[in-house]
Amino acid sequence: MLPDHKIPTMLFVNRQYRFKAPLFLDVMIIRMFASIFILALILLYIQWNLRPICNAIGIYIINSQKTLHTGEVIAFDIKGARAEYVYTWEFGDRQGSSGKQVYHTYHKPGTFLVSVTAGKCRWNKEVMIRPALIPVIPKIAEEIFPVIEGPATTYVGRATRYSNNTPQAKSWLWSLIDQPEAKYTQSNITLVFDNPGEQVLSLIVNNDSNHLVTKRILVLPMRPTAPDIKPVKQVEILPAPVNSPPPKKSFIPITTEEFKYLLSQVANKTRKASDFQPYLCDPSINVIINGNESIDFNSFCHRIYGKRKLQIEQLNLNKDQNGCIREITIINNRKKVLGIF
């Protein structure tokens, strides 16, 4: 046991310790929570500064021309891009790339949607691609040589005209090789040669001696004057008349029943043999009766004239290629009926 004089001191110490212990623990807890709070603020600040700002970023095209065409390289860039982000591109034609600045070429015309993705942000931009322009190749101007228009052959003493119609021509210089002193400065000239032979005519247009042209002219001796010969009056010879064949007689086609009806009218005295002329090749054609009797058509009509009881069992009309009747065959088994056959 402790001495009695030391007991109060221990109690005091114990009391003091018991009194101060809760206060010490509260300070430690407060410091710990304060540290956690400060650390949370630091992390929040870092995340806030590192967050993607979607509204502050956009797509723009670096190409200076406003119209884009197929086949040309197009440069795309990110406006307001940050180095810590990875940007993924899609060009709308199943092609893609990555990076802050990319390059792409479209091979077909149309409207394409270009998209960029960075984290949770996505930006879109439509681009219109037009067909490639066909370069206009300037035509190389062809060398145009002047043309001397005029005959290549003439005669001594005859005035011969030569001309030039070169477009945009302003000056002309004509000369003959054999007569260099003779110069002509009009677009049209008239020459008269005194001697036969070959002459060479030269021409320079617009003082362009590099395009000098020449024309060879054959000068023939003077043509002799033809004597005055009076024209002989031509006698018109008419061709001999050609005997044309007489026109063919036209015949009216008729059937067997119609012809039989006309014969019955002869028997009734309303028709005559002359009424059959349009159907017969000849008025005197043969009529064969029952195969054993032959008479001409006029006699046949005279025989049946007025015989009202005429009966014909069979009638055959023999026609030619023109349709006229050239022979008639009548068959009747009842011979000499009423004295008709």
Q: Which of 220, 248, 271 is the last residue of a domain?
A: 220
Amino acid at 341: F
Domain that holds residue 323: 256-339
Residue 239 falls inside a structural domain: no
Shared domain for 77 and 28, answered yes or no, is no
Q: Which helix (H) or strand (E) holds 226?
A: none
Torsion on CA atoms 316, 318, 322, 326, rounded to nearest 10: -120
Backbone angles phi, psi at 185, to 5 degrees: -125, 20
Q: Are 99 and 165 found together in one domain?
A: no
Q: Which two tokens stand for residue 252?
A: 């009216």
pLDDT of 21 higher than 50:
no
Q: Residue 242, exposed/middle/buried by CB under 10 A (0-12, 13-18, 19+)? A: exposed
Looking at 175, 201, 220, which one is the last position of a domain?
Answer: 220
Of the segments 39-48, 97-106, 283-292, 323-332, which one has the largest average pLDDT value?
Answer: 97-106
This prediction has a pTM of 0.30
Q: Is residue 327 part of a domain?
A: yes
**Same domain, residue pair 100 and 160:** no
pLDDT confidence tier of residue 234, bands split at 50, 70 and 90: low
**Is the separation of the CB atoms in 108 and 142 below 8 Å?**
no
Non-local (6+) Cβ contacts of 216 within 8 A are 152, 198, 199, 200
**Higher per-residue confidence, 12 vs 155:** 155
What's the number of domains the chain is made of? Answer: 4
- Which tokens hold the place of 282? 């000849």
pLDDT of residue 308: 76
The separation between CA 1 and the C-alpha centre of its own chain, rounded to angstroms, equals 130
Handedness of CA 43, 44, 50, 52 (dihedral sign): positive
Looking at the structure, tell me whether residues 262 and 327 fall in a common domain.
yes
pLDDT score, position 244: 62
- The CATH number given to whatever domain includes residue 73 is 2.60.40.10
Token pair listed for 173: 């210089």
228 lies in some domain:
no
Is residue 238 assigned to a domain?
no
Indicate the Cα dihedral angle 107, 108, 110, 112, nearest 10°.
-40
Among left, alpha and beta (phi > 0; psi -120 to 50; other), residue 20 is alpha
Is 33 in the same domain as 61? no
pLDDT band at 89 (very low <50, low <70, confident <90, very high): very high
> Is residue 159 in some structural domain?
yes
Q: Is residue 74 part of a domain?
A: yes
For 338, residues 6+ apart whose C-beta sits below 8 A from its C-beta are 307, 309
Distance, CA of 282 to chain centre: 70
The fraction of the chain above a pLDDT of 70, given in percent, is: 76
The answer as to whether 276 is a domain residue is yes
> In the chain, pLDDT over 90 holds for what percent of residues?
11
Categorize the per-residue pLDDT at 83 as very low, low, confident or very high, splitting at 50, 70 and 90. Answer: confident
User: Has residue 46 got a pLDDT over 70?
Assistant: yes
Residues 27 and 94 both lie in one domain:
no
Of 194, 220, 246, which residue sits at a domain end? 220
Which has the higher per-residue pLDDT, 329 or 237? 329
CB-based contacts of 27: which residues, under 8 Å, 6+ apart?
A: none
Residue 48 lies in a domain: no
CB 185 within 8 A of CB 154: no
Instruction: Encode pLDDT of 235-277 as tens digits.
Output: 666 665 666 665 666 667 888 888 888 888 888 888 888 888 8
Q: Is the pLDDT of residue 114 over 70?
A: yes
